[in-house]
Amino acid sequence: MRKLIFLLMGFFIWQSVLSQYTNEDRIIALNMNVGNNVAKIQNRTYTATTNDTTEWLHLANSANVYLTLQSKDSCTLLIRYQLSVDRVALGLSTLLDSLSTSAAAGNAKSLNIGTTSLGAPFIRFFLAGSALAFPEGTTTNTYTANMLLKKY
């Protein structure tokens, strides 16, 4: 009976340890300054004057954080970010990279934000359209922003 109890305890401890090795994959939401934001950046229409600000994203306890943008037409989307300790905006945003593609079928770009955030617990992104590198497309001007948080 003691062996059975120890085996069951070991099994539950093993399961709880494995449950910590999870990844969270989600579509990023816009900053609407309201709770329970449902305005996701998923197939969102963009133009050369688009200027979307995301919600504050909590990065603490994540070993790697990936931001992925996908466009379904030619575009130039500038990716800027702002770090914070307590979700209070301080200072200017910093240009990180851009998703630039001339292909009518669009393209995707994924960035490891963990190396950019340098341990800051919160980050938000500014996604701005631009006609400087490639003009906006003429058919399906939509893009999607996705965040993947890897715990370990």
Alpha carbon distances (Å) from 21 to 15, 59, 112, 149: 10, 16, 19, 11
CA–CA separation, 107 vs 70, rounded Å? Answer: 6
**Predicted model pTM:** 0.78
Domain parsing of the chain, residue ranges: 23-150
Residue ranges with strand state E in the chain: 23-27, 44-45, 51-53, 57-58, 64-71, 75-84, 94-101, 107-112, 122-129, 142-150
Length of the chain measured in residues: 152
Per-residue model confidence (pLDDT) at position 68: 93
| Fold type of domain 23-150 | Jelly Rolls (2.60.120)
pLDDT of 20 strictly over 60: no
Q: How many CA atoms lie within 13 A of 60 on its CB side?
A: 8
Residues 91-98: what's their mean pLDDT? 89
pLDDT digits 0-9 by tens, 30-71: 887 656 667 889 999 888 888 999 988 888 878 888 999 999
